[in-house]
A and B are shown apart, each in its own frame.
Chain A
């Protein structure tokens, strides 16, 4: 027999060198990716701190003259929270049910392919177009007023495909074994989905929804066309113009005075903090719901 007997060898110097080289490249790539993130955060925090105070968080811009200091973004914070909440209220149930249909029911149908196709198209809709659609349909054709609700509708158009895709991915990750285990216990399909499949995918779905929320919370263009502007507090999202934090930033940053520029930075900081808090809340919910914690 002339078989080559494999020997146990030392790691060659060349392999060690390549290993270190690639490792260094990976670290470098990571650093490059993190630089913009850190610098944006740093800019927003350092510039935003100047006006990030109680007055800013509790006052609107009503009766604040063009060059005055003071004023705040309370009206914009209220607007953003309401608009995003309403948008989630529209798109989360629809998106979740769509994903359930796609994964659990639409096994061999044309409908499934059609829905998938349209979800893909919706993913590519530029945010201005979503705003224009609501402007044209809701405000110009149906003659409804500018309102937070109109803005929420535009945002929900942007949120919907993200929610569908995220939930779909997570539902597909649920092992088929679990569905079969549930069927074999004599549990109907719908109850299996509600009691076994969705809870198993829960953490991932919440994360997906949070990403969708974070994405639309910073949208300016669709709000510009649907909620319009206001300097006053409007708590009613169904009636009259509202404000939103992105709009506020857009508005203040376009003004020539330093007082306004400071307010824009502070509003950007507020937006980031709101999204961070929402993420934290979602984390807490998923942690609190996780099986490892129940004991």
Chain B
């Protein structure tokens, strides 16, 4: 049930300070879209506007339109909580709930929202952990605390937790930045697998990773420090990495700046 997202002219502010400006794009369903760009250009900010996590920060506001299929995500009668349930998110730093076991971490999103029977939960937890390539490593210690896992395992636990609620879109903000190459590969494989079912957006600083995992790539940049970040161009990943239409994109990709 992956869904396409249509973004029109989005600005985002932090207590009056404009962090991103005039962003419009289409995020395809059942595909991986990568966001690249220098630090501070607003990739995370934009990502968080997509599931209404931006407004959680005191003083933060968003203008513009974001539609998922026929639904206006910022419509006056839309419950942001339900938007977040449909559009899941994995953060840069793994953040499992410290008071919960591995099992409870994965079940958290389900349990906190509805009542499920034990057998239903068992099934979803196992399926999600398998989906996140973590099942074999943790199946014997599900009742142990989630904070006892390695960093890479914790990140995959967070992915399992995010996919357990069956979102339609999965946003990932630099999910591999704290991980070793092997865990990174595991997560990239996972992304390739998840894209059958979900619409995936990934922020990354790793050009090779963007080239490897994504179908579309969006390049963000800011004119100068203190200026709002903008979308420079967005195209098929192969096109962006071989013959980008903007000079800035080429400079960034070839490592001339950023």
Contact = CB atoms under 8 A, between A and B. Distances in A.
Interface of A: 107-108, 175, 177-188, 191-192, 195-196, 199-200, 202, 291-292, 294-295
A101 to B, nearest CB: 15
Given A108-B58, A180-B53, A294-B145, A185 B85 contact: yes
A181 B56 CA distance: 12
B100 interface: yes
Nearest to B99: A199
Report, nearest first, the 8 A-B pairs whose CB atoms are least far apart: A186-B85, A185-B109, A184-B89, A177-B95, A291-B145, A187-B112, A186-B84, A107-B58
A183 B109 CA distance: 9
Given A107-B58, A180-B91, A186-B86, 17 more contacts: A180-B56, A183-B56, A184-B88, A185-B88, A185-B108, A185-B112, A185-B165, A186-B85, A187-B109, A187-B113, A188-B81, A196-B97, A199-B99, A200-B99, A202-B99, A291-B99, A291-B147
> Interface residue tally of chain B, by bracket?
20 to 34
A295 B146 CA distance: 11
A178 B95 CA distance: 6
A291 B148 CA distance: 10
B51 interface: yes
B158 interface: yes
B108 A177 contact: no
18 contacts: A177-B95, A182-B112, A184-B88, A184-B162, A185-B84, A185-B88, A185-B108, A186-B82, A186-B83, A186-B113, A187-B81, A191-B112, A191-B113, A195-B108, A196-B99, A291-B100, A292-B145, A294-B145
B50 to A, nearest CB: 11
Given A199-B99, A291-B98, A183 B53 contact: yes
B53, B97, B99 — most chain A CB neighbours (10 Å): B99
A78 to B, nearest CB: 37
A179, A183, A184 — most chain B CB neighbours (10 Å): A184
Nearest to A177: B95
Contacts of B162: 184-185
B97 A178 contact: yes
Interface string B142-153: 011101000000
B143 A295 contact: yes
A139 to B, nearest CB: 45
Contacts of B81: 183, 186-188
B93 interface: yes
B161 interface: yes
A182 B108 contact: yes
A291 B58 CA distance: 31
B101 A294 contact: yes
A196 B104 CA distance: 12
A144 B88 CA distance: 58
Contacts of A187: 81, 108-109, 112-113
B59 interface: yes
Nearest to B80: A183
A255 B165 CA distance: 70
B101 to A, nearest CB: 6
Contacts of B56: 179-180, 183
Contact of A195 (B58, B112, B165): B112
Contacts of B86: 186
B161 A108 contact: no
Contacts of B59: 108
Nearest to A186: B85
Nearest to A290: B99
Contacts of A196: 97, 99, 112
A93 B189 CA distance: 49
A184 B112 contact: no
A295 B144 contact: yes
A183 B145 contact: no
Nearest to A289: B99
B216 to A, nearest CB: 23
B84 A183 contact: yes
A107, A179, A202, A294 — most chain B CB neighbours (10 Å): A294
Contacts of B96: 181
A187 B83 CA distance: 10
Contacts of B144: 294-295
A184 B86 CA distance: 10
Contact of B109 (A178, A186, A199, A292): A186
A27 to B, nearest CB: 35
Contacts of B82: 186
B115 to A, nearest CB: 13
A181 B84 contact: no
A165 to B, nearest CB: 22
